[in-house]
Structures are given as structure tokens and as C-alpha cells.
Copies of this chain bind each other. A is one copy, B any other.
Amino acid sequence: MPELRKDPVIGRWVIIATERGARPTDFKSAPRVITRGFCPFCEGNEDKTPPEILAYRNSGDRDEKGWRVRVVANKFPALQIEGNLGKRGEGMYDLMRGVGAHEVIIETPEHVTTLTKLSTGRVEEVLWCYSERLNDLKNDKRFAYGLVFKNVGVVAGASLEHTHSQLIATPVVPRTANGEMAGCREFYHYRGRCLFCDMVLQEAASGNRVVVNGDHYLAFEPFASRFPFETWIVPKKHRSNYETVPRDELGELAEVLRECLMRIESALEDPPYNYIVHSAPFGKEDMEDYHWHIEIIPRLTKVAGFEWGTGFYINPVPPERAAEFLREVEL
């Protein structure tokens, strides 16, 4: 069972994944690579993954062919689903058992390496699948937060190329979510408005950082972009949690997400990237001062000592230029 340990200085939680069996000598600086050849995510190989948790199907039974989207437990989970939290101290330190859920959303049965190769309708189905899984996991009262994210490319942490997303449900609210909520709360307290609602208005009005301006979603390069071509997709309608978005609002999100990724892939020649759904914790579905959104981070620059030491970032491409460049891509 992995352990969740809390750094006493900064309050960050670390999953010490003792069960993964890594020996210290496995960590010599060998570059990690994506395994090619046999793919456990392809249709027909259903018996090579843990049993399915959810699938959208044209035909077939559980763990058989015929699915369009399929969710399974991660074969090498960072957190484990069974048991209680066992919160305890060790002298001045706090820790608990590494209880949580770690699922993989396999986005298509075909061996396709990017989400953008799927039609908008199929991307919408993937987005709806995120929602269904989050809504199911929040029934488990041990979990405080559900994080949906995607790693594409070795540099971004992917180990399989077949397009997929991941979901981790954690027993504590992550530090980043708490930090965002605190910043938004302060703004709301001072101004009486949601920070992201204001941001959407200002960005749409100035336009110089906008990538896609949809009816219900705005995609833009944030003013203080940490990374070249960092792109946020923010819904124009205020809502704190992703999993409460109704299905009929996910169609345009699929369009905007797909268009952003296509522009990034074309402009930067299929870069490694992550995207992360930022959402309020489970049980906080009606926050007036927090606003869910998606952050897309192409992994083009290295994070060096300065960034680790300070938490501030050096970005060599102004977001205004990045936005212009992305807008000019011909699709």
C-alpha cells in the first residue's frame, strides 16, 4: 500500500509509491521511452488490462470488443482503491495510507495517437465519460478530489502512445486546487465577482491573447503564461465543477478543445503536452468564487533550478505572440 506523506513546511502531499517495486538502481538516468509494438489499449486486447469500469459500446459484453470509449483501473496505480485512510502521525510528520482511485480512459479502440484524430462527436463522448466517472467516484466519501488529466509524449510522462486520459481521485484536496481557490476567494471578497468571469470578459474584449472565441468557451494564452503556448479553455458560464456541466454544453467544449489541440499540434509539430481539468473539490459544487477550466501545457522548455527554487517561471515567448501564431495556423 503506498503512503501519502505531507511535507511539514509547505503542506504538499507526496505519494510514496512503495509498491511499484522500483529499486534505487532502476533510477539511473536512462531515458524513459514509449513502448511500441503490442498495445494493451487496442480493441481485441481487453484481457490485457484490468477489468473495465465503464464502457460506451456498439456491441459486445463487458471486456469484449465493440466499445468506443473504455475505462479501466490503471495497471500500475499511484493510489489503491481498497481500505481506509489510516491517518496518523510520525513524530512531527503526518501521513495516511495511499487510498484513492487511478483510472485510465481509453479514448478509442483504434491505435490512434492523438485525440484530434477523433471526430468532435467522439471527443464529446470522451468528455462526457470524464463526467460520469467523476460523478461516480464522488459517491465514495473517502475521496475529496477528482483530477482528470492527459499526458502525451514521453517528455510529458506518457508511457503508451494509444490516446488516453487518466483520472486520479485523492483523499485530500491537492495543494494547487487549494491555492487557486484561495486566490479566487480573495478576489471575490475584494470585488464581489468571480475572478475567472472577469478574466474571460477582459480577454475577450482585448482579444490579443485569444486563440478560439466560441459561443460558450474562450480559449486564450493566459496573461502570465508559465510556458510557451500554454493555453487555457474557460467556460463563459460560471460553474465551479466540471462534472456538473450538462451533456449539451460538452459538444462545443469538444470543438474548442479539439481546435486548440490541432492548432498546437500543427504549429509546434506534435509537441509533447499535458492537459489538466481544474475543478472544485467534491462536495463544493456551487462555489460562487471558483470557476472550472482546462489548462493545456505544451512541454517545450525544461524546468530548471530557478523555477524549482522560486515557483516563478521564465517564458521566452510572450503569450500575445503565441496566440497570434496559433490563430494563424491553417487547419
Mark A residues whose CB is within 8 Å of B. 3, 5-18, 20, 22, 24, 27-29, 32, 78, 90-93, 145, 147, 149-151, 153-158, 166, 168, 170, 174-177, 179-180, 183-184, 187, 195-196, 198-199, 202, 206, 222-226, 228-229, 267-272, 274-278, 295, 297-298, 300-306, 308-319, 321-322, 325
Check if B302 sits within 8 Å of A179, measured CB to CB: no
User: When chains A and B are docked, how far (Å) is the Cα of A187 from the Cα of B179?
Assistant: 19
Check if B199 sits within 8 Å of A150, measured CB to CB: no
Given A29-B270, A176-B311, is A156 in contact with B305 using a C-beta cutoff of 8 Å? yes
Shortest Cβ gap from A173 to chain B (Å):
9
Check if A224 sits within 8 Å of B6, measured CB to CB: yes
User: Chain A's interface: helix, strand, loop or mixed, by majority?
Assistant: mixed
**Residue from A303, A314, A325 whose CB has the most chain B CB atoms within 10 Å:** A314
Q: Which residue of B lies closest to A102 (CB)?
A: B306
Check if A305 sits within 8 Å of B276, measured CB to CB: yes
Contacts of A151 in B (CB 8 A): 304-305
User: When chains A and B are docked, how far (Å) is the Cα of A100 from the Cα of B245?
Assistant: 45
Contacts of A9 in B (CB 8 A): 180, 183-184, 195-196
Q: Which residue of B lies closest to A326 (CB)?
A: B24
Check if B149 sits within 8 Å of A269, measured CB to CB: no
User: When chains A and B are docked, how far (Å) is the Cα of A150 from the Cα of B309?
Assistant: 10
Given A157-B302, A304-B151, A319-B16, is A174 in contact with B310 using a C-beta cutoff of 8 Å? yes
Contacts of A268 in B (CB 8 A): 27-29
Shortest Cβ gap from A301 to chain B (Å):
8
